[in-house]
Amino acid sequence: KAGVTQTPRYLIKTRGQQVTLSCSPISGHRSVSWYQQTPGQGLQFLFEYFSETQRNKGNFPGRFSGRQFSNSRSEMNVSTLELGDSALYLCASSRTGRSGANVLTFGAGSRLTVL
């Protein structure tokens, strides 16, 4: 069974540029969540999408956005990159999210470096 696939795995950008990260969830999973991991702030929730709708949003500026497609694949975009956006961006997928032992499975992450 294929896991959660994130692309690209590594990327380097310069300040002011924008970046798009992609996440393909496990087949049959309809919920996709995004998290940012940095040494200083730890793991922080960015947003969650379910059936193409944003269901939850974390406390990040509007430069961070996302979307989900009809096949449940998700993308997140960061515009006008800042040095502080350098981080590991993790995507997690799950089947639904409302009840039960709903395991969130994480992808390998996309490591973004902003110079």
Partner 1 sequence: ELKVEQNPLFLSMQEGKNYTIYCNYSTTSDRLYWYRQDPGKSLESLFVLLSNGAVKQEGRLMASLDTKARLSTLHITAAVHDLSATYFCAPKTGGNKLVFGAGTILRVKS
DSSP state of 85: G
Q: Would you count residue 66 as binding partner 1 (CB under 8 A)?
A: no
Distance CA 23, CA 8 (A): 9
Distance CA 52, CA 75 (A): 11
From the list 27, 56, 80, 113, which residue makes contact with partner 1 (rule: CB under 8 A)? Answer: 56
Distance CA 3, CA 42 (A): 23
State the nearest-atom distance from the C-beta of 86 to partner 1, in Å: 15
Residues 5-44 as x/- pattern, contact with partner 1 by CB under 8 A: --------------------------x-x-x------xxx
Strand-pair partners of 92:
33, 106
Q: Total residues contacting partner 1 (rule CB under 8 A)? A: 26
Contact region for partner 1 (CB under 8 A) — 11-19, 66-74, 77-85, 101-109?
Answer: 101-109
How many residues would you count in the chain? 115
Closer by beta carbon to partner 1, 19 or else 107 = 107
Distance CA 60, CA 80 (A): 14
Distance CA 70, CA 62 (A): 23
Closer by beta carbon to partner 1, 86 or else 105 = 105
Query: Site residues (CB under 8 A) for partner 1?
Result: 31, 33, 35, 42-45, 48, 50, 55-56, 58, 90, 92, 94, 97, 100-109
